Amino acid sequence: MRLLVVGAGATGGYFGGRLAQAGRDVTFLVRPQRAALIAAQGLQIISPHGDVTLQPQLAVTGSIAAPYDAVLLAVKAYSLEAALEDFAPAVGPDTMIIPVLNGMRHMDVLTARFGAQAVVGGVCKVAATIDGEGRILQLAGFQELIYGERDGTASSRMQALDTFMKNAGFTALLSPDVEREMWEKWILLASMGGVTCLMRGTIGDIVAAPGGLDFTHRFINEVVTVASHVGKAPSPGFLKAATAMLTEKGSPQASSMYRDLQNGAPIEADQIIGDLLARAQSTGIATPLLAAAYASLAIYQSRQKAA
pLDDT tens, residue by residue, 121-160: 999 999 898 998 999 999 889 999 999 999 999 999 999 9
Residues 267, 141: one domain? no
Q: What is the pTM of this model?
A: 0.92
User: Which phi and psi angles does 212 have, rounded to 5°?
Assistant: -65, -40
Please check whether residues 149 and 221 belong to one and the same domain. no
Q: Which of 143, 176, 209 is the last residue of a domain?
A: 176
User: Which residues are catalytic, by number?
Assistant: 185
Instruction: Name the region of 88 (left: φ>0; alpha: ψ -120 to 50; beta: rest).
Output: alpha
Residues 10 and 139 in one domain: yes
Which CATH number belongs to the domain containing residue 96 in this structure? 3.40.50.720
Q: What is the pLDDT of residues 278-290, one digit of tens each?
A: 999 999 999 999 9
CA angle 263–269–275, rounded 5-degree value: 170
Is residue 152 helix, strand or coil?
A: coil
Residue 222 CA, chain-centre distance (Å), reads: 21
pLDDT at 17: 97
Both 142 and 261 in a single domain? no
Distances, alpha carbon 137 to alpha carbons 43, 52, 66, in Å: 11, 11, 32
Same domain flag for 159 and 293: no
Q: Do residues 133 and 253 both lie within one domain?
A: no
Spatial CB neighbours of 295, under 8 Å, sequence gap ≥ 6? none
In the chain, DSSP assigns E strands to: 2-6, 25-30, 43-46, 52-54, 57-60, 70-73, 96-99, 121-130, 136-148, 171-174
Q: What does the pLDDT look like over 200-248, one tens digit per residue?
A: 999 999 999 999 999 999 999 999 999 999 999 999 999 999 999 999 9
Residue range 74-88: mean pLDDT, rounded: 92
- Residue 237 sits in a domain whose CATH number is 1.10.1040.10
Give the 3-state secondary structure of residue 133. Answer: coil
Cα distance between residue 125 and residue 196, in whole Å? 19
Q: Which letter does DSSP use for residue 212 in this model?
A: H
Cα separation, 99 vs 20, whole angstroms: 19
How confident is the model over 168-183, as pLDDT tens digits? 999 999 999 999 999 9
The answer to whether residues 64 and 28 belong to one domain is yes
pLDDT at 256: 87
- Same structural domain, 153 and 6: yes
Q: What local confidence, expressed as pLDDT, does residue 140 receive? A: 86
Q: 113 and 156 share a domain?
A: yes
* 141 and 265 in a common domain: no
Domain boundary (176, 197, 216) is at 176
145 and 192 both lie in a single domain: no
pLDDT of residue 49: 95
How many separate domains does the chain show?
A: 2
pLDDT of residue 307: 73
Q: Report CA-CA distances (Å) from 4 to 96, 152, 260.
A: 10, 24, 27
Q: Using the predicted structure, report yes or no on whether residue 197 has a pLDDT greater than 80.
A: yes
Q: What is the pLDDT of residue 178?
A: 97
Instruction: Annotate 60-111 with DSSP letters as a single string.
Output: ETT---S--SEEEE-S-GGGHHHHHHHHGGG--TTPEEEE--SSSHHHHHHH
Nearest Cα residue to 166 out of 10, 11, 23, 14: 23
Domain stop point among 176, 209, 239: 176
Which domain covers residue 41, as residue numbers?
Answer: 2-176
